[in-house]
Amino acid sequence: MRSRRTKPKELKQTQRKSMDHVLLITTSILTLFGVLMVYDASVVEAYRDFSDKFYFAKQQLVWAGLGLMLMLVVSQIPYQLFRRVALWAFAATVLMLLLVLIPSIGTKVLGARRWINIRGFTLQPAELAKLTLAMYLASFLEKKQPFIQFALITAAVVGLIMLEPDLGTATVMASIAVAVYFFSGAPLRAIFAVLSAGLLGGFGFIATSEYRRARVATFLDPSKDPLGISYHIRQVLIALGSGGVFGVGIGKSRQKYEYIPAATTDSIFAIVAEELGFIGAAVLIALFVVLFIRSFSIAKRAPDQFSKLLAGGIATWISIQTLINLATMVALLPLTGVPLPLISYGGSSTIATLVGVGMLLSISKSL
- DSSP for 158-198 reads HHHHHTTT-HHHHHHHHHHHHHHHHHTT--HHHHHHHHHHH
Task: State the Cα–Cα distance between residues 196 and 214, nearest whole angstrom.
Answer: 23
Task: State the Cα–Cα distance between residues 184 and 189, nearest whole angstrom.
Answer: 14
* pLDDT (0 to 100) of residue 206: 67
* Residue 262 located in a structural domain: yes
Rounded mean pLDDT of 202-227? 66
Please answer whether residues 142 and 306 qualify as being in contact, where contact means their C-beta atoms are separated by less than 8 angstroms. Answer: yes
Rounded mean pLDDT of 146-166? 87
Rounded mean pLDDT of 71-92? 95
Rounded mean pLDDT of 195-205? 71
Task: State the Cα–Cα distance between residues 285 and 9, nearest whole angstrom.
Answer: 41
Mean pLDDT over all residues of the chain? 86
User: Using CB atoms within 10 A of its CB, is residue 112 exposed (0-12), middle (13-18) or buried (19+)?
Assistant: middle
Kindly report the number of other CB atoms within 10 A of residue 343's CB atom: 30
pLDDT tens profile 285-312: 999 999 999 999 999 999 999 999 999 9
- Using the predicted structure, report yes or no on whether residue 112 has a pLDDT greater than 80: no
Dihedral sign for Cα 48, 52, 53, 56, please: negative
- Using the predicted structure, report yes or no on whether residue 15 has a pLDDT greater than 50: no
Rounded mean pLDDT of 100-124? 75
Residue 184, domain extent? 85-298+313-340
**How many angstroms separate the Cα of 219 from the Cα of each of 241, 332, 357?**
18, 8, 33
Task: State the Cα–Cα distance between residues 273 and 292, nearest whole angstrom.
Answer: 21
More confident site: 46 or 228: 46
* pLDDT (0 to 100) of residue 277: 93
Taking alpha carbons only, the member of 218, 340, 172, 332 closest to residue 270 is: 340
Q: Which residue intervals of 301-335 are DSSP H helices?
A: 305-329
* Residue 35 located in a structural domain: no
* pLDDT (0 to 100) of residue 268: 94
* pLDDT (0 to 100) of residue 129: 94
Chain-centre distance for alpha carbon 176 = 11
End-to-end CA distance of the chain: 36
Task: State the Cα–Cα distance between residues 3 and 278, nearest whole angstrom.
Answer: 64
Q: Total domain count for the chain? A: 1
* Residue 356 located in a structural domain: no
**Stated pTM of the model:** 0.89
Q: Which helix (H) or strand (E) holds 39?
A: helix 21-50
Q: In percent, how much of the chain has pLDDT > 90?
A: 52
* pLDDT (0 to 100) of residue 207: 67
* pLDDT (0 to 100) of residue 214: 66
* pLDDT (0 to 100) of residue 113: 73
Rounded mean pLDDT of 156-172? 87
Please answer whether residues 252 and 275 qualify as being in contact, where contact means their C-beta atoms are separated by less than 8 angstroms. Answer: yes
* Residue 239 located in a structural domain: yes
Chain-centre distance for alpha carbon 208 = 26
* Residue 188 located in a structural domain: yes
* Residue 308 located in a structural domain: no
Kindly report the number of other CB atoms within 10 A of residue 353's CB atom: 26
Rounded mean pLDDT of 216-235? 70
Q: Which helix (H) or strand (E) holds 108?
A: strand 106-109
* pLDDT (0 to 100) of residue 228: 62
* Residue 148 located in a structural domain: yes
Say whether 256 sits in a helix, a strand or coil.
coil
Task: State the Cα–Cα distance between residues 275 and 239, nearest whole angstrom.
Answer: 9
* pLDDT (0 to 100) of residue 211: 63
**Length of the chain in residues, anyone?**
367
Cα dihedral 128→130→135→139 (10° resolution) = 130
Question: Of 170-174, 329-333, 343-347, where does mean pLDDT reach its minimum?
Answer: 329-333
Kindly state the DSSP code that residue 4 receives in the 8-state scheme.
P
| Peptide bond preceding 165 in cis form (omega within 30 of 0) | yes
* Residue 171 located in a structural domain: yes
